[in-house]
Amino acid sequence: MLTLSCPSCGANVNFQSKSSVFAVCSFCKSSLVRQDMNLDEIGKIADLQDDLTPFQIGTTGMYNKEKFEIIGRLKVGYKDGFWNEWFTAFGDERVAWLAEAQGFLAFCYPYEATDLPEVKTLKIGQAVDLKEKGIYEIDDIRVVKCLFSEGELPFDAVQGRKSTSVDLTGFEQEMATIEYAAKETRTFIGHYLDFDDFQFKNLRPIDGW
């Protein structure tokens, strides 16, 4: 783990994953960009007014009998709603994402996709060839905006960051997400799981429950 200090308030800022290049100071909410051992402040993250989720930074869970920990979050909104993408790290170099939307949980890991179709040409129902991972069908195409970010993340998740999020389904519980952002296109593959499958620990307390 790498510990740097916040250029704004001096508090410790931890980087558990080497792939994280962005962090939000847990004290002063400054958004920080990391370049090697340097942290630059690029702005502040405004607090979320209404935020109802069972997860938080530090929540742990199990996936394939391996323990992971939530180290960052990106909350995105689109015209009909919002969802959370929780950045998780296993003890080693591996990272994955836990997507949370209306009670549905998908666990997915990065996949180096090649020859993806152009974002402008995509249509719902279209088949996308993810090579050895199989053929996936597009369910949803949404233009999303970053509403909130916290912890550490592998890209600059400043508020207002725009991207196009494409949800796809394969066989059984399999799913894939392709995120077309301004600078990069990233693909994730995973599947839907039940809440209890993860054996979560250190969840966020929810008032009244």
Under the rule (CB under 8 A), what is the footprint of other proteins?
A: 48-54, 77, 80-82, 102-104, 106, 124, 139-140, 169, 172-173, 175, 192, 195-196, 200-209
- We find the least distance from the C-beta atom of residue 156 to other proteins, in angstroms, to be 25
Report whether 98 contacts 55 (CB < 8 A): yes
> Which residue lies nearer to other proteins by CB, 2 or 82?
82
- We find the least distance from the C-beta atom of residue 149 to other proteins, in angstroms, to be 16
Which residue in 20, 31, 46 sits closest to 155, CA to CA? 20
Q: Kindly state the greatest CA–CA separation across the chain.
A: 50
- We find the least distance from the C-beta atom of residue 81 to other proteins, in angstroms, to be 6
> Which residue lies nearer to other proteins by CB, 100 or 179?
100
Return the DSSP state at 114.
-
> Which residue lies nearer to other proteins by CB, 67 or 201?
201
- We find the least distance from the C-beta atom of residue 68 to other proteins, in angstroms, to be 15
Tokens of 186: 């990233």
| Length of the chain in terms of residues written | 209
> Which residue lies nearer to other proteins by CB, 7 or 77?
77
> Which residue lies nearer to other proteins by CB, 66 or 140?
140
Q: How many CA atoms within 13 Å lie on the side-chain side of 203? A: 14
Return the DSSP state at 204.
P
Handedness of CA 171, 192, 23, 16 (dihedral sign): negative
* Share of the chain residues as helix, strand and coil, in percent rounded to the nearest 5: 5, 55, 40
Report whether 29 contacts 36 (CB < 8 A): no
- We find the least distance from the C-beta atom of residue 208 to other proteins, in angstroms, to be 3
